[in-house]
Amino acid sequence: MLAFARTHPRRCTDSVTRSALGLSATAYYQRLLALLDRVEAAVVEPALIDRLRTERNIWQQARGST
């Protein structure tokens, strides 16, 4: 999943995620967001996880969430 996130655009469509991973775009993003808080993911792909965490934090601030 991390390899897919590294090589694909930030907003993948349902058809792209279904053909590559067998998941809907919603399921893919739910699983990807869950990975951001796992230490193992940060060990394997530190730069990617840092970038995705930053994007998540910006998105949460824009929505007024914490």
Q: What is the pLDDT along the chain (66 residues), one digit of tens a residue?
A: 899 988 887 778 899 999 999 999 999 999 999 999 999 999 999 999 999 999 899 988 998 865
In a domain, 4, yes or no: no
Residue 2 lies in a domain: no
Asked if residue 1 is part of any domain, the answer here is: no
Q: Which domain range does residue 59 map to? A: 10-63
On whether the pTM is more than 0.85, the answer is no
Please indicate, yes or no, if residue 3 is contained in any of the structural domains.
Answer: no
Domain count, the chain: 1
- Sequence-separated (6 or more) residues with CB below 8 Å from residue 52: 5, 32, 36
Q: Flag whether 37 is in a domain.
A: yes
Residue 55 in any domain: the answer is yes
Provide the CB-side half-sphere exposure for 33 (13 A, CA). Answer: 11
Q: Which of 2, 22, 3, 24 is nearest to 12 (CA)?
A: 24
For residue 28, tell me if it sits in a domain.
yes
